[in-house]
Amino acid sequence: VDLAFCHARHWDWPAVVTVHENTDAAFVWSARHTALFPGCLQVPPEEHCVGVPVTAVAISQCGSYCVIGLQNGALHRFNLQSLLHRGPFPKGPEIIDEAEKKAKEAGKQPVRAHTGRVCGVAITITGRVVSAAAHPGDCRLRLWKLLTHEALGDVPLKSSAPGFPSCTLLRMQGALVAVSLDDGTLLVVDLHGLNVVRSFACGVPATDAAFSFECRWLAVTLRDGGLRIFDLPAARCVDSFAFARPAISVCFSPSTAFLLTAHAKGNSIQTWANKFLFDPSISAPLLQTEPAAPICVDEPGGDLEQDEDGEEAAGAHRPKTEGKDGGVSTQQAAAAAEAANPLAPELLTLSDVPPQKWLATLHLDLVKERNKAVEPPKPLPNAPFFLPTAHDGVTPRFAAPFGDADESEGPGGTEAAALSRIFRGERRPLEGTPFQVNLRKGDYDGALTFLRTQTASGVHLAIEELGSLAGGDKAELKAVLVFFLHHLEKAHYADEVQAYLSLFLQAHGEELAEEPELRALCAELGAAQDALWAALSTQCQKARCFLGILTQTQSQW
């Protein structure tokens, strides 16, 4: 439920402390050895905290002390190097009389730092402990001296909404502390002046908050899946997002160039670039209007993953339509087809197939060479000395092997056995392949669908069975060039169309060069392709410039 670390001392002793749910001790980890340390931070029994879960933890900047907050409102300090208990906050008077000591041990409750559960604790660089509790009657920020455990003061946390709010989150950077209340109010407290300097109405409580390194921006993740960025000097919201999966943790990079988020049911950390580096107008947020509604975005990395139970429930109510071939098309198939359509007119869009498929189509010879058998084929076994024979009347004949007689039986079996295997398929030599039929009909979308459903060898066979060498004419090659022009204008399935075009030019390049009409179509095809890729290069030029600035690289002019 909480974690604290100190990067200055992790080489000397374990300096990573974690707090877990419903656990009455804080565990210590070694970042150097990437292992759990044998000891733990546990409050002694005489403090009347046996079995009370730890809810918050903080480590001092020097790495020597650790402060933990408990469910019952107690605060305790430990020495991180020796794991020894150094006393509670506030520290009670020293007991010298044995009678008073026995009376304390008899059941007199000690004074607690807070009334309810400690929801956050932090330690400043000047040695002050900042803590807050999640109890409506103790909605205030308390300050303590780290070494003497003295109370230095408190800051009341008031909300503009009626009622008695309570604290849910505490985050600190420098002298600023961000506190989230359960009524959706976000407060920023200045520790030097001990007062609230900023107040933002978020509507729902925050799950995490993070300051930028110079404390200019404050990023807050909300329970409803939102993420808001506040400009503290301007006292206004400069950006607002809404994720499909709620962000549960957020952090700025040390240079504030990137924002890191972790999402529910996700196993990765998402990285977002800071818009300030790309849009100088954000340097004057007072001249910009606040976002009226959050922008709905999906985190990078793919579609939203569902639980197995959710997938089964969705599959039970998913609408299905039967096709002519008996197949079933679902909403996922429609979404996959929609993903291949350009987002804007003439915007180059790749297909939804893995690159290995069209790469295998382009380099089929290399694939066949790689998959060639290492050992030569084994010779067939020798025929037996006595061959099986049968008698047709009085004339002896060699008997057919077992299994062949069954295949030739049935109506027309004898006639089918006498035919050559070449004529056993569909006898439509004049119609040609489905690819040629679609080209003659002008159904270029159907022709592309046929090629996309073929294997690498099937694509080679369909493209090579064109032209005069396959019994066709130049009109067939002209139809293929018009087919490629049609799909280049649509700008979809760019990677697969380019692979098919490369194969077509390799197979029929000499025939295309002999006909002036085909050469003119090839020139038109090349101009369309150059215009398509030039538009993409123009759109990417700004991105390349920004990438060079971010990576601090310069091109050779």
Contact indicator for 469, 329 with CB cutoff of 8 Å = no
- For residue 18, give the nearest of 50, 71, 57 by alpha carbon: 57
Give the span between the Cα atoms of 219 and 266, in whole angstroms.
20
- For residue 228, give the nearest of 300, 299, 293, 159 by alpha carbon: 293
Give the span between the Cα atoms of 88 and 124, in whole angstroms.
18
Residue 359 has a pLDDT of 82
Give the span between the Cα atoms of 42 and 78, in whole angstroms.
9
Residue 317 has a pLDDT of 36
Cβ neighbors of 378 (< 8 A, separation 6 or more) are none
Assign 445 to helix, strand or coil. helix
Contact indicator for 70, 118 with CB cutoff of 8 Å = yes
400: burial class by Cβ within 10 Å (0-12, 13-18, 19+)? middle
CATH fold for domain 2-297: Methylamine Dehydrogenase; Chain H (2.130.10)
Contact indicator for 144, 134 with CB cutoff of 8 Å = no
Contact indicator for 10, 16 with CB cutoff of 8 Å = yes
Residue 360 has a pLDDT of 81
Give the span between the Cα atoms of 195 and 49, in whole angstroms.
32
Three state DSSP letters for 110-155: CCCCCCCCEEEEEECCCCEEEEEECCHHHCEEEEEECCCCCEEEEE
Give the span between the Cα atoms of 340 and 343, in whole angstroms.
9
Supply φ then ψ for residue 190, to 5 degrees.
-95, 120
Residue 31 has a pLDDT of 87
Assign 241 to helix, strand or coil. strand
Each residue's pLDDT expressed in tens, for the chain with a length of 557 residues: 899 998 888 788 999 999 999 999 999 999 888 899 998 999 998 888 888 999 999 999 999 999 999 999 999 999 999 999 999 999 876 654 565 556 555 556 678 889 889 999 999 999 999 999 999 888 999 999 999 999 999 999 987 777 788 999 999 999 999 999 999 999 999 999 999 999 999 989 999 999 999 999 999 999 988 999 999 998 989 889 898 888 999 999 988 889 999 998 888 888 888 877 766 666 667 667 788 888 888 755 444 343 434 433 333 333 333 443 444 344 555 555 555 566 666 677 778 788 878 788 888 887 777 777 777 777 777 766 667 777 777 777 777 655 444 444 444 444 444 444 444 444 444 567 888 888 888 899 899 999 988 888 888 888 888 877 666 778 888 899 999 998 888 888 888 888 899 989 888 888 888 888 988 999 998 898 888 888 778 778 877 777 777 766 544 33
Q: What is the pTM of this model?
A: 0.55
Give the span between the Cα atoms of 475 and 411, in whole angstroms.
43
Apex 263 CA angle, 259 and 269, nearest 5: 50
Contact indicator for 29, 13 with CB cutoff of 8 Å = no
Residue 105 has a pLDDT of 58
How many other C-beta atoms can be found within 10 angstroms of the C-beta atom of residue 132? 31
258: burial class by Cβ within 10 Å (0-12, 13-18, 19+)? middle
Give the span between the Cα atoms of 134 and 249, in whole angstroms.
20
Q: How many CA atoms lie within 13 A of 245 on its CB side?
A: 22
